[in-house]
Amino acid sequence: MLVNRLIQSVLLATPILCSDGFYKLDFDVRKGFNLTEVVDDFFKGIGDAIGDTLEDVGDLLGKRENGSQQVPLTNERAFYITTLKIGSDASDVRVLLDTGSADLWVMSSKNSYCTENGGSMNCDQYGTYNEDNSTTFSKNDTEFSIQYLDQTFAKGTWGQDTIELTSSLILKEGNLAVADETDSNVGVFGIGYKSLESAQDKYDNIPIQMKQQGFIEKICYSLYLTPAESEKGSILFGGVDHAKYTGELVKFDIVPINGVVRHFQIPLNDLTVNLITPVQSATTTASTLVSSPSPHPTIALIDDTINQLFGKNSKRDDNVITLNTNGLFDSGTTLTYLPQAAVDSLISKIAPGASYNSNLGGYQVPCSLRQEGNSVSYNFDNKKSIEVPLSDLVMIAGRDSMNQQQCMLGVVANDDHTILGDNFLRSCYTLFDLEDNTVSIAQMKYSDDEDIEVIH
């Protein structure tokens, strides 16, 4: 059993913990194609960052219409920005919270890419760290080097310093890297598995040190995201917040990759499409946007044939998309990635005949799909279903020349990995347990209430 309220109230009385046993770290969610771009947008205060709203994506569409700046939305990443205080002088450093990597690194004020040091990057906006100013810093002379998928890189030295995550969680001798050469103007706070650490000699990263220093009882954290519009969230280290979900929280063993537990993936059997208004025939999506035909135009036809052959009784099964794969929970991904066959099947069920926009890397679908009540249920190992409103999976992508809203499906094809990104995680309260190697999920409930319990 995951949690036991009765046991908790007894155990809390024992002097194991320094404090509450759980720590909530709030963050802002930003989207974009690389670290620099996202953070620039965020701190320039030009409103919501790229990808946040219809106008933003509309801009992208607009640029495509004129045949330039064709960055497929499918490469878009989600970034969780939070603030840490580091060193004896407690300098504020903003970092990107990342479950997909495992190192904490911050930018040194000596970074050669900064304008102060002869480079061209403004490094002051988000806070830099000057190790010389901190009497608690010690460096261990081992080189640090990391490169992210978006080509952003950071190089520097490993060391230790005092790290304040919240006013009541101040880690001593926290392991961190100080980058004196990086083209990212913001550091990264990776909280994933040790196996993801960039260092050759694996070390105890921050979540592990939290337990070692008695702040949490178990190396685990719960992820909460707010609705798409508000773009906020929190990570709760060491605990679970019962006020943030409905129904039961169900536990799954993480499926290892080549025997090693690295990513948070669990068995995903199938999807069920629930539409308030059944789709009758091919939808006409009037569009002035450049679009290429669907790569699989015959699917709708096949579906029609099946309907004719099996009649109305097949209706219920018709709504099911079989996957029998593992779904990888990735907070750093904005969209959802499914095998091509599953995407084709989804399209045939919600918008047969929808056109594929190769510039966007996705399907244009009717915005009416966003109507309340439409949803997709994700069935995990026949043990738990999570329902995601279609309004989260169908993104408003701007307006056409007739001022009609244009929408894009936030589910794209990838035969290598099934990735459940932000547009799924916003509906799924998730507890990641890095000690037991489990992921526990429940239907998200957006709420400011708290009912937090320590995990033992």
Ligand X SMILES: *[C@@H]1O[C@H](CO)[C@@H](O)[C@H](O)[C@H]1NC(C)=O
| Cβ-based nearer residue to ligand X, 262 or 296 | 262
128 interacts with ligand X by CB under 6 A: yes
Burial per residue of 363-392, b for 16 or more beta-carbon CB atoms within 10 angstroms, e otherwise: bbbbbebbeeebbbebbbeeebbbebbbbb
371 interacts with ligand X by CB under 6 A: no
Output the smallest distance, CB 184 to ligand X, in A: 7
Closest CA to 397 of 285, 293, 270, 311: 285
152 interacts with ligand X by CB under 6 A: yes
Out of 37, 173, 304, 387, name the contact with ligand X by CB under 6 A.
Answer: 37
Q: State the helix-helix crossing angle for 340-350 and 299-310, rounded to 10 degrees.
A: 60
Is residue 196 within 8 A of residue 133, CB to CB? The reply is: no
Out of 21, 34, 354, 421, name the contact with ligand X by CB under 6 A.
Answer: 34
Is residue 81 within 8 A of residue 28, CB to CB? The reply is: yes
Output the smallest distance, CB 183 to ligand X, in A: 5
Using DSSP's 3-state secondary structure scheme, residue 91 falls into strand
The CA-based angle 112-102-187, given to 5 degrees, is 30
Task: Give the active site residue among 41, 52, 56, 98.
Answer: 98
CA distance 456 to 454: 6
| Cβ-based nearer residue to ligand X, 157 or 385 | 157
Site for ligand X in 162-201 (CB under 6 A): 175, 183, 199, 201
Output the smallest distance, CB 153 to ligand X, in A: 9
Amino acid at 455: I
Using DSSP's 3-state secondary structure scheme, residue 215 falls into coil
Site for ligand X in 194-233 (CB under 6 A): 199, 201, 203
* Burial class (CB within 10 angstroms; exposed 0-12, middle 13-18, buried 19+) of 293: exposed
CA distance 438 to 431: 8
Is residue 377 within 8 A of residue 309, CB to CB? The reply is: no
Output the smallest distance, CB 151 to ligand X, in A: 5
Q: Binding pattern to ligand X, positions 48-87, x when CB under 6 A?
A: --------------xx-xx---------------------
Amino acid at 126: Y
Amino acid at 192: G
Active site residue 330: yes
Pick the piece of the chain touching ligand X (CB under 6 A) from 148-156, 230-238, 344-352, 391-399: 148-156
Output the smallest distance, CB 322 to ligand X, in A: 37
Out of 133, 147, 212, 277, name the contact with ligand X by CB under 6 A.
Answer: 133
| Cβ-based nearer residue to ligand X, 65 or 304 | 65
| Cβ-based nearer residue to ligand X, 33 or 43 | 33
CA distance 300 to 292: 17
Output the smallest distance, CB 61 to ligand X, in A: 10
Output the smallest distance, CB 208 to ligand X, in A: 11
Two tokens, residue 155: 């190089």
Task: Give the active site residue among 52, 56, 270, 330.
Answer: 330
Active site residue 416: no
Two tokens, residue 106: 């911050």
Count residues near ligand X (CB under 6 A).
Answer: 25
Q: How many CB atoms lie within 10 A of CB 165?
A: 22
Q: Which residues bind to ligand X, rule: CB under 6 A? A: 33-34, 36-37, 62-63, 65-66, 89, 91, 109, 128, 130, 133, 140, 142, 150-152, 158, 175, 183, 199, 201, 203
Active site residues: 98, 330
